[in-house]
Amino acid sequence: MGNLHFMSYPLFRLTVALAIGIFLSDTFWNDISILPVLKGVFIFLTIVACGLYTLSIYRYRMLFGLVVFACFSVFGSILYLYNRSLIVYDWSDEEQIYIGRLTENPVPKKKTMKAVVEVTQVKTGDTLPEWKAVNRKIILYWMPDTTQQPLTYGDEICFRAQISRPVSDADFTGFDYGRYLENKGISGTAIAFIGNWTSIGKSDVYSFRERAVLVRDRIVDIYRSWGLEKDAFAVLSALTIGDTKGLTQELRDAYNAAGTSHVLSLSGLHIGIIAMIISLFLLPLRYLKGGRWLISGCAMVLLWGFAFFSGLSASVIRAVLMFSIYIVASVFTESRFSGFSSLSFAAFLMLLYQPLYLFDVSFQLSYVAVLSILLFYPLIVRKVQVKSRWLRYVISALALSLSAQLGTLPFILHYFGVFPTYFLIANLIVTPLSTFILFMAMVSLCLSWIPILGTWIIVSLNFALQMLNGIMEWIQQWSGSQVSSVYLTSLQAFLLVVFILFFWAYCFNKSVRGLLVSLLSLDVLFMSCLYEYKRQNCDYLFFTRAGIYTKRSREIVQHSTSSNIFKIKNLQIVLLNDDRWKNKTSDKPLHVDYAYICKGYRGTIKDLSNVFRLQQIIFDSSMNATYKSRLVEECIRLDIPYIDMSSKGSYGVLL
């Protein structure tokens, strides 16, 4: 690792140690009960580190570094477990009465409304009921009730529902939805039916971030009043203030295929463009005494003001924090150190504040993209020297896009399994257009009230937005615009990261060791891909979502029959979601390998035994907890093996 000079930054190493501790705790010891043990280990390592530091003996420097690294890793584990304890909650298996507050505007679904609700209290006890504090966030779905006023942001709601922890079906879908929600701070999900919820007033207590969201919603209302074309309005809201609710799937697909989906979520690109615009406006201040300090201070204030107007989302805070630290670092240190310093310090502060950010895909992509730009951009630009000013701009833009794409490639293939082939061309177009749109949006907010002039400004903005959407849709239609279904496992993505890092080390200082390590990692990656390809050709049977599925690689097929009895290869399966087998008997019970009992079945295990010869029973997570416990007792009494899917979203069998 001696060739990777950015690892020599102390703060970068401490950030890596913190991230490793968070990752290890999430992977191997995520039980909150281990927290006291980790605290003891942390205190012990801190004492050892202090002792080694006071010795001030040069030969102990490596040991001191290792102890400090281990100390910060353990500290990362402690932070992770503590923050997870603030999310995880032991919800009751029965319906209960809760009081909560909407922390966002509801989103309409097919038959329900959906919003994140902060559950503040739960009613406990039957004879002497009392309210117990909860303070956890859930995703609540509720069926609209014509007798109730529609709920909005900040409304308090009393509802009766069964809240359940998010379950994972990563084996089935390849996406761990339960872990995703927990990393977002969501403790559970629930649905409230008509008659089981009522609004009890509006909260007059708002946090700083909630007030920022209210301001963002007012800006969205201003955009809506301009009468923009629907897709243009959706992209403007996403590009300028991070409101993505109006984006259609078709629009998202077009930007994904073009390799410009980062434009639709506020990130470092947008903050960089805004910082550039602010710098141009503040340029005259450089002629004043202390102008450099004044420009830096004003830029930071304006950037944080933009973060507030955009709702203080995590991605915006991350980008503005990084730019703020970069501005301070560039004032106090040499510019060649400010990039890595600000990147490391921003990541360190973000992980200290919320360790679960480490598992946020946008967090990973944004930091990796910036790190990759810091590494590869100077290397690429140095190799290509041209005299033409416009050609230099084109090469710089292409180098910037290529650098970011190189670093994020392993993550994109791991999470999304797609690669946009025309991303260089698309980003060459989208960067100047995005700059123009951001500038025109700021001008429109200031001048749209002026007759005629305001109208022409809005018309120009609408035209630019339609042009941007049209070009992205046009690129999507190009032949081979997207390479899809190229998914990498976690190990394969890691090997690709190792290859890219050490290949950069070889290009940077012609290190033979860097070349050997990169080639070795590439060989292991190739062998891993061959093994994964052979493994994916196997067929699996899945019980999930009250249905029977088979899966090969990522191709999923749902099976259905009128009798609910399935013959899949050599397995006999019965799906039980109604009362058709109740009070039925058979002289020759049918052999059944798996009986999948779901919501809707009202019989007993004895009823099934009169018709089927049961080898194993699977209980779906949608079943009523009390009813399921009675069936489980029957299984134990009749000595029939069973599987309860309450804690997971699916159960798979290799065919």
391 pLDDT more than 90: no
| 68 pLDDT above the threshold of 60 | yes
Q: What is the mean pLDDT of residues 150-160?
A: 88
More confident residue, 138 or 286: 138
For 573, the 3-state DSSP assignment is strand
What mean pLDDT do residues 276-304 have?
81
* CA 494 to the chain's CA centroid: 19
Q: How far apart are CA 551 and CA 542, in angstroms?
A: 7
pLDDT above 70 coverage of the chain, percent: 95
**Least confident among 32-36, 266-270, 502-506, 586-590:** 266-270
Whole-model pTM over 0.85: no
Check pLDDT > 60 for residue 2.
Answer: no
**Cα 160 from Cα 99, distance rounded (Å):** 9
When pLDDT is averaged across residues 613-621 and rounded to a whole number, the result is: 90
- Give residue 5's pLDDT: 56
Buried b (16+ CB within 10 A) or exposed e, 336-365: eebbbbbbbbbbbebbeebbbbbbbebbbb
User: pLDDT digit string (tens) for 548-579?
Assistant: 999 877 778 889 888 889 998 889 999 998 88
Residue 326: partners with Cβ closer than 8 Å, 6 or more residues away: 338, 339, 342
pLDDT of residue 549: 92
Q: Mean per-residue pLDDT for 193-217?
A: 81
Higher per-residue pLDDT: 646 or 128:
646
CA separation, residue 194 to residues 117, 121, 140, 141, 318 (Å): 17, 21, 13, 11, 40
pLDDT the model gives residue 331: 67
pLDDT at res. 270: 76
Average pLDDT, the chain: 84
The mean pLDDT of 618-627, rounded to a whole number, is 84
474, two tokens: 């046009």
Q: By the 8 A CB rule, do 380 and 405 touch?
A: no
Helix axes 453-476, 249-258, angle to 10 degrees: 70
CA distance 264 to 256: 10
Beta strands in 258-378 (DSSP E): none
The pLDDT value recorded for residue 1 is: 44
482 vs 188: which has the higher pLDDT: 188
- Give 432-474 pLDDT, tens digit per residue: 888 888 888 888 888 888 888 888 989 999 999 999 999 998 9
Tokens linked to 407: 């670093």
Long-range CB pairs of 460-463, under 8 A, 24+ apart, other chains included: 461/226, 461/228, 461/236, 461/437, 462/226, 462/228, 462/229, 462/232
Residues 101-123: pLDDT tens digits? Answer: 998 888 888 888 999 999 999 98
Contact 322, 303 (CB under 8 A): no
The residue-averaged pLDDT of 399-414 equals 85
Rounded Cα–Cα distance for residues 220 and 428 (Å): 28
Give me the pLDDT at residue 73, please: 93
Model confidence at 253: pLDDT above 60:
yes
Average pLDDT over residues 388-395: 78
